Structure 1
């Protein structure tokens, strides 16, 4: 991430404003100089006449008509005095009337431009700092050359959810009491992000945290409102497109997870992504990018499969794996890399097509309940955009090798697929549809639920987005599950709105308001 301070100051500021004022000052100086010369000439003339009068007094002191001459000279002096006063008045008038209507209009226009620009940009001249707001980036602070910067942004998602499930069960298939219909409000996400660079633009950082809800991603009870960090890393951009990342970050695995939650089509990501997505891990990642392709590989402490969040985000003493890795390759046929930051395509967008391949693997260690278990995975996806139309499709497969563990588990090979499409009617309205299906019997992070018979999601989701402005979006969608049994969720799961069921026709209605700052 790089800030260009030169772009923070209006290009015309130093030329239009200062140049116009210099020309105005010059005209005022010329006017004053002109009248000053005439005034001095008049003064010298007055002095000359005064001397002449004195000599005249001496030469006519004895003359009989002295009284008449003195009266005449006195009249001439009074006339000169009147002319001198009129000249001074003209100088004062010229000095006060230099700001005519045309120039006043120019000044008003200039002031309005400066005030409008200052609403989003401020130059702290004494300290050499820049501050303001950039659309899509958030609030920022930066020094003039951009070598040090800080950006702050955030995300709020408030939603209303209604779930209708005629046969509510736990992730293991045990029936649950209660009404078949449940509804209410929840704050799904409340995030704050700090990012920027230090020393120079090649050293970047990010710290992102969120206020946890009543349950985590596994449906486990938490202390509602607790702030937990999610992304926390340092990155160094090397030469020729190579970069290194150290800390906690999203592992290079499934594309749906890598696209930010604020840039999805539906209210929530698919259940397939929630089951197979590896989320974040602590480790190191190397990336290499060109104009047409990129590759990223990570070695870390362990990813989400069978490793719950409390053990992913702590230190080496709680490491649940002997080794864990993931890698992803992407090839871009057309478009810019930034086109794939979102699943939405706006009207008038040019063609953008990209394919991705990724793999992951990890072996669980002695500190895990599944010591010796090995998990390998593969995923492929395609993304396309053109003139308001967007398409995304993905397939994921995993293999669980339980031959070296003592737990009563068998080898298992779940799979899943997602297809979604969106179409923007205009700059405000977007329609979308998504279908997901798979063989994913079990709850993420709890392998003992694996193998629940017929626990496969088969969900169709239809919905619409209304973009109130660039920072506020309203989304509503409705989904229905066609599978007879869906046992992939814990009893307290609330993130997606779906719950486990042993009958078909469970449906979910969701409405969400999202604000970015």
Structure 2
């Protein structure tokens, strides 16, 4: 091939690639321009939507406690909230958690991770949906799912899944406890979540709540899910529905504002306040669906409490009793048995003057029926401090627990990693809890 032909071919190829390059550049340029125009149009439309929302009187932002969206006039609203509790725990004892020669255990725990939505619809219905992410595995579980509305002056109705109006320690949010967590006594007797309907009445100085439900601990249960043995009262276990359950709680405020009793602490400069509360619960049914061959059960429980708050100090005392009755439960030692169990908690705290530090102490105990296999009293002492950076919204807490007795001698003792109680093979288990809480 001659040099002339070679040069002609190279020149032709160069011209061809040049033309293709220009064409591709123009295509890319056109494509990029179209994409940019689409993004800009989308941003302008979004901004216009936001502007229209605000121009129509809608509001959005953070009210110091939670993020919110609200229509003009507040007929419709949506608030988003959350809770993070992160802990470091250390326990000392003998054979902790049933593990031979395990005398020390320490580690971190994401105790509570919660997300919730609250708001109003038609300025008539209030609602709440709340999830908690399990500390062991991270799975989301439904806690609150309810709707409420006023039905006449002073009267409100609420239905869905929420806590029955029973023990005050359980009704006070986990965001607003005095110690790092609720007492061991509360773990034994508390109502947990229920599915049902509540009717409440409020006056300036007193209120009353009445609930018809599927029973204590009946959250996230389907219709016609029978209870089994060990899922009612203080017999241990959770799950299933009772055939019927009734709960009532009465509160009388002798001094102060109701808002003061939304937590247990009392900031320096607070006014004097005190309140009396009492509640009664009854549930029952049969356990035909369980593996023990059926049988009947009844559970009757009562509680009473006194709450005091002053200028930088607080005190709380509560007692609870539970009567559990099993009849004709086949194949087990409690086939025909009844038990009367009791519990008590006393706690108090005081702010250190001119600081954000609070010192607190607590004693609680459970007293099993003498007919139980393990009928010894189980005592717990707790002491610690809180540092309020921004109230309960950003708070550091530390406490030390002394589980005085051997849990093996108390049938209703309830070891739980949630409260930092592992259970050991002897007396005197000790636990240290360090926690930071953030609310948003």
Any conservation in 1 of the 2:94–2:101 contact (CA below 8 Å)? no
Partner of 2:346: 419
* Counterpart check, 1:128 vs 2:52: no
Per the alignment, residue 5 of structure 2 pairs with none
Which stretch shows the higher mean deviation, 364-373 or 177-186? Answer: 364-373
Q: How does 1:263-282 map to 2 (within 5 A)?
A: 263-282=176-195
Q: What residue in structure 1 maps to residue 196 of structure 2?
A: 283
Cα displacement string for residues 405-453 of structure 1 (whole angstroms, at most 9, x for unaligned residues): 33421211110000000101145111000000121489xxxxxxx9342
For each residue in 1:227-273, what CA deviation from the matched residue of structure 2 results, as whole angstroms up to 9, or x when unmatched?
11100001011222100111000001100000000100111100100
1:505 is matched with: 428
Correspondence 1:140 to 2:38: no
**CA distance 1:327–1:404, change in 2 (3 Å):** farther
Residues 1:333 and 2:240 aligned together = no
1:430 aligns with 2:358: yes
Indicate the residue corresponding to 1:13 in structure 2.
none
**TM-score of the aligned structures, taking structure 1 as reference length:** 0.68
- Establish whether residue 313 from structure 1 lines up as the match of residue 237 from structure 2: no
Q: 2:333 aligns with which of 405, 408, 413?
A: 408
Task: Give me the whole-angstrom Cα distance separating, in 1, the residues matched to 2:407 and 2:425.
Answer: 4
Structure 1 residue 456, shift from structure 2 partner: 3.4
Structure 2 partner of 1:69: none
Deviation per CA, 1:176-230: give whole Å up to 9, x if none: 3241110100000000110010101x3100001110121xxxxxxxxx1111110
Q: 1:341 to 1:427 in 2, by over 3 A?
A: farther
In structure 2, stretches of 5+ residues that fail to align are 1-50, 227-240
Preserved CA contact (<8 Å) 1:167 1:501: yes
Question: Which stretches of structure 1, 4 residues or longer, exceed 4 Å deviation after superposition?
Answer: 486-491
Structure 1 residue aligned with 2:160: 247
The 8 Å contact of residues 95 and 102 in structure 2, kept in 1 or not, is answered as no
Secondary structure of the 1:156 match is: strand
In structure 2, the residue matched to 1:483 is 405
Give 1:60's aligned residue: none
User: Structure 1 residues 509 and 143 mapped into 2: Cα distance closer, same or farther (>3 Å)?
Assistant: same
Distance 2:173 2:52 in 1: 32
Q: CA deviation at 1:313?
A: 1.2
* Aligned-residue CA RMSD (Å): 2.1
Find the aligned partners of 2:86 and 2:225 in 1 and give their Cα distance: 34
Contact 2:200–2:208 (CA under 8 A) maintained in structure 1:
yes
Query: Secondary structure of 2:169's partner?
Result: helix
Q: Which residue, 247, 257, 266 being the options, matches 2:170?
A: 257
Compute the displacement of 1:361 (Å).
1.3
Partner residue, 2:395? 473
Using the alignment, how far apart are the partners of 2:407 and 2:149 within structure 1? 47
TM-score scaled by length of structure 2: 0.79
Shift of 1:513: 0.3
CA distance in 2, matches of 1:182, 1:284: 43
Matches of 2:422 and 2:131, distance apart in 1: 27
Which among 261, 286, 289 is matched to residue 367 of structure 1? 289
Residue 502 of structure 1, CA deviation: 4.0
The residue correspondences of 1:180-329 to structure 2 (distance < 5 A) are 180-200=103-123, 202-214=124-136, 224-304=137-217, 312-319=219-226, 320-329=241-250
Say which structure is richer in helix: 1
Cα distance in 1 for residues equivalent to 2:376 and 2:63: 46
Contact 1:193–1:207 (8 Å) recurs in 2:
yes
Distance 1:451 1:501, change over 3 A: farther
